[in-house]
Amino acid sequence: MSKKICVVTGSRAEYGLLYPLIKKIQQVKEFDLQIIATGMHLSPEFGLTYKEIEEDGFEISEKVEILLSADTPTSVNKSIGLGLIGFTDSLKRLSPDFVVLLGDRFESFSAAIAAFIMRIPIIHLHGGELTQGLIDEGIRHSITKLSYLHFVSTEVYRKRVIQLGESPERVFNVGALGLDNIKNLKLLEKDELERVLNYRLDKKTILLTFHPVTLENNTSEKNFREILKALDQLKNYNIIFTKPNADTEGRIIAKLIDNYVLENPKRAIEFTSLGKLKYLSLMKYVDIIMGNSSSGIIEAPSFKKPTINIGDRQKGRVKAESIIDCEVNKESIIRAVKKAEQMDLSNIENPYGDGNASVRIIEILKKQVRKGINLKKEFYDINF
């Protein structure tokens, strides 16, 4: 009898990472794929990106509306509450054998609580990572403790999940799923990408994504204005902005992007959501990745491109030598750009694997299903 595997996704970036695994689950005869779309996928403000899931040939089993038209801590808390109610109803209807969650967003936290209480084993991806500037870190480690199987992206993260008391027998270093897309997707040629985006890549270009740092209070506007001041000095670069997630103060950054593009129409362009194919294709052709997105840490090194990582949002992550950390001020950012221009990245290795994570996950999951699941987890104590 086939096992029902339910994948929960709440954002464009998360779905892009999950795509190769969803594809593999769909192809395995022992598994029945279910998908719950939630969060930003269902919001016009963030591009109604559930349509991308459907365009990729997947059927969405349930849609769980949780996003409020605000980005305050209060609204995030209320969204978590709405999510807990919505996921409980959806999981009851779908009755999956496993729930797949990636990372650290509040949508996943709601789904994790619902699945845990309903005694549905959780498969957690990208656990053990550190992002010291975000509420996401606490959420990620909480999901780890609610989960049964753990698929992590580096050996450092595997050890950290074990440190949290999870048995080594259920923690697997498979690499990062995002690299599977780079390996398997046929990325767009430069002229095709320019046509699709209606934008010429005929100058040096920065791809910039900057999200709020959610453990800081009221810093988003000040921080992003510093970035814009640096961009004003980097006039030999064109800028491609992708807009931030539905995090606290995200709308402040989005508005600043809108204004900057209006004021600099010849060198700046913005996108609410590019989708995985266009985003990865852009990474291939731009000169610098800038901001504080995890994609600059995990995927960018595979393209031999420098990442200017601004501020504390990704503090604590394993980083390739192509990552340049800098402070959130104009002078530090400009120095980082000059350093990036001098780097030889031809021999850079990506510490996040070889692009075969989804294959490894499927094979391990098949073995775990045959072995059987015992939800009575024992806390794994480390002998200090």
Instruction: Look at residue 72 in the predicted model and tell me its pLDDT.
Output: 80
Dist CA 327 CA 332 (whole Å) = 6
Could you tell me the sign of the dihedral formed by the alpha carbons of 331, 337, 340, 342, in that order? negative
Instruction: Look at residue 313 in the predicted model and tell me its pLDDT.
Output: 86
Nearest to 205 by CA among 326, 274, 290: 290
Could you tell me the sign of the dihedral formed by the alpha carbons of 270, 274, 280, 281, in that order? negative
Mind listing the domains of the chain with CATH numbers? 3-175+354-371 (3.40.50.2000), 189-342 (3.40.50.2000)
Distance of CA 71 to the CA centre of its chain: 19
Are the CB atoms for 87 and 36 separated by under 8 Å? yes
Are the CB atoms for 115 and 122 separated by under 8 Å? yes
Instruction: Look at residue 69 in the predicted model and tell me its pLDDT.
Output: 72
Give 270's strand partners: 241
Identity of the residue numbered 297: I
Are the CB atoms for 198 and 191 separated by under 8 Å? no
pTM over 0.85, yes/no = yes
Dist CA 172 CA 140 (whole Å) = 16
- Write the CA distances from 201 to 119, 204, 236, integer angstroms: 51, 8, 13
Is 102 in a helix, a strand, or coil?
strand
Following DSSP, what letter does each residue of 257-325 receive, concatenated?
HHHHHHH-TTTEEEES--HHHHHHHHHHH-SEEEES-HHHHHTGGGGT--EEEESSTTTTS---TTEEE
Q: Burial, 382: exposed, middle or buried (Cβ in 10 Å; 0-12, 13-18, 19+)?
A: exposed
Report angle CA 342, 305, 204 to the nearest 5 degrees: 70
**pLDDT per residue as tens, the chain (384 positions):** 899 999 999 988 889 899 999 999 999 999 999 999 999 899 887 788 899 999 999 999 999 999 887 778 898 899 999 999 999 999 999 999 999 999 888 999 999 999 999 999 999 999 999 876 667 789 999 999 999 999 999 999 999 999 999 999 999 999 999 999 999 999 999 999 999 999 999 999 999 999 887 566 677 889 999 999 999 999 999 999 998 876 667 788 999 999 999 999 999 999 988 888 999 999 999 999 999 999 999 999 999 999 999 998 888 899 999 999 999 999 999 999 999 999 999 999 999 999 999 999 999 999 999 988 899 999 999 987
